[in-house]
Amino acid sequence: VDASAVQGTAYYYWLSAIDTATPANESEKAGPISASLSSSKQPDTFKDITNAHWARSYIEELLTSGIVKGYANGSFHPQSDVTRAEFAKMVCEIMIKRANWVLSTETSSSLTDVRADHWAVVYIETVSEYGVMVGYKTSDGTLFRPDKNITRAEIAKIISTVLKLERGESKLKDVGTHWAKEHINACVKAGIISGYKNGNFEPRSFATRAEVCKMLVKMMKLLDTQKNKGKNTQQ
């Protein structure tokens, strides 16, 4: 047993045998054997997600797909906000698996406020290159604001862009003059998002982790539907 092994690191070992003759003879070393110590398995669910939680099925689906993870203490924090960088990573992981996206190979960011050593730089560059999250044009250059919490309206625009949704209408009361109105209505028409019981969408509100899970699962399913329709058309 290699007590010094570290999780996430691959190790190579060479085996040899020594016979019991006197003097002992050591065999030639065998070919290398690769081994690694994997991290602990993610739980099937989380201690703060009850059976009755409205987003349980969406959270578990993204957990199974490896799109989201929980915290070390076994919780998910469904009401916590999601940053733009975190959302960029989720979108990339979905699109790589379902739409053959390729991660950017840029070693530095074209966005003014994203450092080359930012943990999400490759995901941010990827969504930027695909035209899904292009940042904000300012006098200081193009900013991504990676650590800013993402709003419900921003997510609607991103999903609408990814899926190339047709424009539609909705009965939401608070999106009439909002800049993302067309994207929000398109997502409502496609069944990706919905408003609250009071008839509002609250486009300026930050999206929670639970809400993001629901919207992304809906996006994944529509992506699969679009892909299958494309296959049937080609046949």
Q: How many CB atoms sit inside 10 A of residue 74's CB?
A: 12
The whole-number pLDDT of residue 107 equals: 76
The whole-number pLDDT of residue 234 equals: 60
Counted domains in the chain: 2
Is the domain of 129 the same as that of 26?
no
The whole-number pLDDT of residue 20 equals: 58
Domain residues for the domain of 81 are 56-234
Is the domain of 219 the same as that of 104?
yes
Measured over the CA atoms of residue 133, residue 137, residue 142 and residue 147, the dihedral's sign is negative
The whole-number pLDDT of residue 39 equals: 47
Whole-structure pTM value: 0.79
Is the domain of 82 the same as that of 27?
no
The whole-number pLDDT of residue 227 equals: 87
Is the domain of 162 the same as that of 124?
yes
Degrees, nearest 5: CA angle 165-209-198: 70
Q: What are the mean pLDDT values of the chain's consecutive 10-residue runs (235 residues total)?
A: 47 54 58 50 77 96 94 96 98 96 89 94 96 93 96 98 93 94 96 94 98 98 89 59
Query: What backbone phi and psi angles, to 5 degrees, belong to 81?
Result: -80, 170
Is the domain of 88 the same as that of 113?
yes
